[in-house]
């Protein structure tokens, strides 16, 4: 079945450092890929997405490129802030059955801590 693998952390960085969170996936067909962020006590917020190979999703300074050849969707940000501290989830949506949405398969989540 479909699966998503990501580093679990915690990942601790200093403010203004460069961030990479690795994400690789296994899926049949051509899934859509997502990064979600979860702040303490809250639900998930969509950070960015990509629906086909070589697409780059971007939002709030975060970027990720859909790499079909390496089955990866790594999250990057050039300069992190304390407010970026949260748990980040990589996810995919398979295309089973056609039509409508198919649910999400999540990675375990990466706890990111940014120190001032």
Partner 1 sequence: KAGVTQTPRYLIKTRGQQVTLSCSPISGHRSVSWYQQTPGQGLQFLFEYFSETQRNKGNFPGRFSGRQFSNSRSEMNVSTLELGDSALYLCASSFGQGGGYTFGSGTRLTVV
In three-state secondary structure terms, 28 is coil
State the virtual CA torsion across 36, 40, 42, 47 in degrees, nearest 10.
Answer: -20
φ, ψ of residue 84 to 5 degrees: the values are -80, -5
Q: Which residues in 3-42 contact partner 1 (CB under 8 A)? A: 32, 34, 36, 42
Residue (52 or 115) nearer to partner 1, CB: 52
96: its two tokens: 């089973």
Contact range with partner 1 by CB under 8 A, out of 12-20, 62-70, 71-79, 100-108: 100-108
Q: How far is CA 116 from the centre of its chain?
A: 24
Residue (43 or 116) nearer to partner 1, CB: 43
108 lies in the binding site for partner 1 (CB under 8 A): yes
Its sign, for the CA torsion 68, 69, 72, 77, is negative
Residue (103 or 116) nearer to partner 1, CB: 103
The residues binding partner 1 (CB under 8 A) are 32, 34, 36, 42-46, 49, 51, 89, 93, 95-109
């Amino acid at each position: 079945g479909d699966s998503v693998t990501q580093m679990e952390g915690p990942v601790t960085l200093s403010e203004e450092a460069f961030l990479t969170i690795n994400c690789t996936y296994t899926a049949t067909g051509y899934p859509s890929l997502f990064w979600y962020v979860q702040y303490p006590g809250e639900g998930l917020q969509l950070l960015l997405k990509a629906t086909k190979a070589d697409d780059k999703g971007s939002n709030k300074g975060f970027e990720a490129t859909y790499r079909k050849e390496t089955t990866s969707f790594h999250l990057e940000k050039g300069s992190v802030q304390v407010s970026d501290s949260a748990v980040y989830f990589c996810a995919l949506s398979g295309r089973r059955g056609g039509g409508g949405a198919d649910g999400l398969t999540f990675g375990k989540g990466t706890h990111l801590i940014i120190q001032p």
